[in-house]
Each structure stands twice: as C-alpha cells, then as structure tokens.
Amino acid sequence: TFGLYVTFPIFGNTAYSEDHLNTGEGTVANRRKVRFYPLKSPDGTTVPNAFVFTSEDFVNGDGSFDVNDFFGIVRNVRVAGASTGTGVTVSNLDGAPFDDRLVFNRINIQPPEPLKDEFGNTYNPPPNVVHDRATVRVTNNRTTAITVSSVTVNNGSVWKVLSGPPAGTVLQPGQSVNVTVQFIATTPPATSENETVDPTGVRKNLNGTYAGTLTVNTTDGAKTVQLAGYFQHKNEDNQEANVETLINKVFGYGTNVVGAGQSLVGGGRATPVGEEVMSGLWARVDAGRPVTVRQLAAQHGQGKTATLQWYAQGSSTPSTLFTHAADQGQTYLPTTAAGVAAAGSFNPAGAFGFKNDTEWSEDARNRQEQPGGGFGHHVRFWPARD
C-alpha cells in the first residue's frame, strides 16, 4: 500500500494523503490536506480504478482552505484503507480475506482415521494441521497516546483470546500490538442448513460455520473484527465445507456462487453457475505488476499435496507457483513446507491459463466426463466481492 504527498517549497509545506502525517498543522481538524473523488466519464459512469485528487498547501488566516492548490488524476489504483490519521486501525496478519475478518477451521476427531489409497491399501494419514489461530495487529495512528481498556470475544466457548494487551496498556503514536484468537469449538453450531460437500445433507448436523466477533476497546473507541470458523466433525468423509459456504459464510466474499435451481455437479458440462466467469484463459490487467495468487483452502486427501501452476496460451509446459504442505490437505489458508503462505506471482507476456494438479483451466485439455467432447469443465472462476 502507499500514499501520496505534494511539496510546496514556497511555503515549506508538504501535504500528505494520510491526515495524521500533516503534523505541521496545529489544529487536528485542519489536517485533511488531500482529498480524493471517483473519476467519471462525461456520461456520468465511473472510470474503474481512477480518482481525481486535490491538495491544499496553506490554511488561510481565517482558518479556511480551499484544497485546490494541486489538482491531478491517479490511475490503476484501488482504496487500500481509509486515512488513518483519526484513530486506531486493525490489520489481519494472514493477509486474507480482509483486515477486519479472521477465518478459522477445526477438525474435531484427531488423529484422522485410517484411509485407503487408490489401490485399496490402508494407510494412516498425518494429523491434520488446521488453521485454528489468527492474529490481528492493532495500531495507534493518532498523534497522542491511547489506552486499551479490554479485548473480548463474543462467545468464550467458541473463541479464545490467546494473547493480547492487558487492560490499561498504553499505545504511543505509531505503536502496535498483536491480538491472537483461537477457534476452540468442540461441537457443531445449531443449524438446519447443509454446509457440507455432501448434497444429501446426511452429515449436516455434524458440521457448520460459527460467526463471532473480536472487540478491542480503547479510548479512541471500539474496533470490531469479524470471526468465522468452520467446525468439521472428522477428516474428509464428505464433511468439508461446500463452495458456497467457503466463499460466502467463511471468507465473506458475498459472491453468487450457485443460482436457484443450479448445481455444481454437472458431469463436466461447460454450464455456468451463479456469477461464474466462463474463461479458460486470462490476461494481465496491468503490465507493470505481476499476477498474484493465494490459496484460500485445501479440501482433499490428507497427507497429500496439491500444486498450482500457470502456463502461457498454447504451451504444454506449466510453471509451478506453489505446493502446499502435505499435512495441510484439510485446512484454510494453507502454507508450504517452508511455512510460508501458499501464494505466488508471475509475469505473463500474453494470455495464460492455470493448472491445478491434473486439471487445466481450459476444458479441452481435461479428461472428458462423457463422450463427444465438451465435458471437461473442471476448473471454475467467480468474482470475489467484498
């Protein structure tokens, strides 16, 4: 993330887009020196990722200022966060899905029961490494100290504050402190909804998503962080969260995954569901920045890895982006064997596609579920909505 600043040598002033950096202004209310507005076309439509900005270099003797001393347009940007000059901010150290939302998963029966491989041989998978802990960083962006009065979760039988500042902790300007929360539920939530991958719903009462809140109370006010945790009774066995549950209830993206009367089980047919975007190939929007990918969840055979690759259009030689650790076949926000987030970036020169283990984003490259072609739709894409 970044901000903008404008320097006015004649006055010896610098105007920053973050209010709290404009400390040369003695009156806090006058520290808003840079303003942003959406750029619009003559017909009134908003231009994507473009903003008009204006800046002020000097406050008049009567305390007024017109914010028109510097005028410009900035493109290829999005809002990363509100100006932090007026209070406390929180940031999710997982990096996903949002700064004010932490996600978790928990599998009740450990170690997992013995499984059978594709040859019918029984084996003992490694214990599940789940994502049952997450950390948020609280930062004081004021120009004066603040005091933390309490750190609480809404349901102590589901969530636990593992570490955080004790009541009375003082945060000086620019100082931060971490709060770590653990998902500790031992029983599923009461729900009539089938959130599992099993369309029959046989195991729906054994699994489900908990929603909660973490509240950090300070003398600057309260900061609330949303908590979402999927409770899974046992490893695999069709008890994992279905796609709608993952995208909407856990990660909170608000995407229309499956429309009324639709199903994800289509026998490989290239039929869109919900807001699905039907494209096997993609192109980079900004040639000056890499394409980035982050794995949000792994729900397959425990003890086995999965590798995500990308390939240039027409190529049969994909390049590996990352492989998650083998003991994280049933977890959220998995890591690699090196302990870093399962994420990667690349700089394609033209159109490209993805390969997830043996499945390609181009239907024609996949095993056809039925004869006649047109039945290899094994990778789906949806827009991520906040």
Domain ranges of the chain: 5-75, 88-250, 291-361
DSSP state of 365: G
d(CA 359, CA 194): 27
User: What is the C-alpha to C-alpha distance for residues 131 and 332, in angstroms, rounded to an integer?
Assistant: 6
Whether residue 61 has pLDDT greater than 60: no
Q: What is the arithmetic mean of pLDDT over 286-308? A: 94
Least confident of 49-58, 102-111, 146-155, 160-169: 49-58
Q: What are phi and psi of 207, to 5 degrees?
A: -140, 155
pLDDT of residue 65: 56
How far apart CA 325 and CA 129 sit, in angstroms, is 9
Say what the pLDDT of residue 24 is. Answer: 73
Helix (H, G, I), strand (E, B) or coil at 108: coil
> pLDDT at residue 83 above 50?
no
The candidate with the shortest Cα–Cα distance to 185, out of 113, 297, 105, is 105
Residue 129 pLDDT greater than 50, yes or no = yes
Model confidence at 72: pLDDT above 60:
yes
To the nearest whole number, what is the mean pLDDT of the chain? 90
Q: Would you say residue 82 has pLDDT above 50?
A: no
Q: How confident is the model at residue 41 (pLDDT cuts 50, 70, 90)?
A: confident
Residue predicted with more confidence, 347 or 30:
347
Tell me which DSSP letter residue 367 carries: P
**What's the mean pLDDT in 117-127?**
88
Of 110-119, 135-144, 290-299, where does mean pLDDT reach its minimum? 110-119
Report the sign of the C-alpha dihedral through residues 167, 148, 104, 355, in that order. negative
What is the spatial distance between Cα 33 and Cα 58, in angstroms, rounded to a whole number? Answer: 9
DSSP symbols for 26-56: SSGGG---EEEEEEE-TTSPEEEEEEEEEE-
Confidence of residue 217 (pLDDT cuts 50, 70, 90): very high
Q: What is the pLDDT of residue 289?
A: 92
**pLDDT of res. 369:** 86
Could you report the per-residue pLDDT of 152-190, keeping only the tens digit for each? Answer: 999 999 999 999 999 999 999 889 999 999 999 999 999
The confidence score (pLDDT) of residue 88 equals 87
Parallel, antiparallel, or unpaired for β 221-232 and 208-218?
antiparallel
pLDDT higher than 60, residue 241: yes
Angle at CA of residue 214, ends 203 and 108, nearest 5°: 25
Q: How far apart are the C-alpha atoms of 204 and 25, rounded to whole Å?
A: 59
pLDDT above 90 coverage of the chain, percent: 63
Q: Give Cα separations from 170 to 145, 149, 165, 174, 214 (angstroms).
A: 7, 9, 9, 12, 19
Rounded percentage of the chain residues whose pLDDT exceeds 70: 93
**The CATH fold of domain 88-250:** Immunoglobulin-like (2.60.40)
Lowest mean pLDDT among 198-202, 237-241, 321-325: 198-202
Name the amino acid, one letter, at 296.
L
For residue 66, what pLDDT is reported?
56
The per-residue pLDDT for 84 is 43
If one compares 63 and 8, the residue with the highest pLDDT of the two is 8
Model pLDDT, residue 57: 65
Q: Hey, is 206 helix, strand or coil? A: helix
Average pLDDT value for residue range 323-327: 95
Taking alpha carbons only, the member of 217, 137, 218 closest to residue 178 is: 137
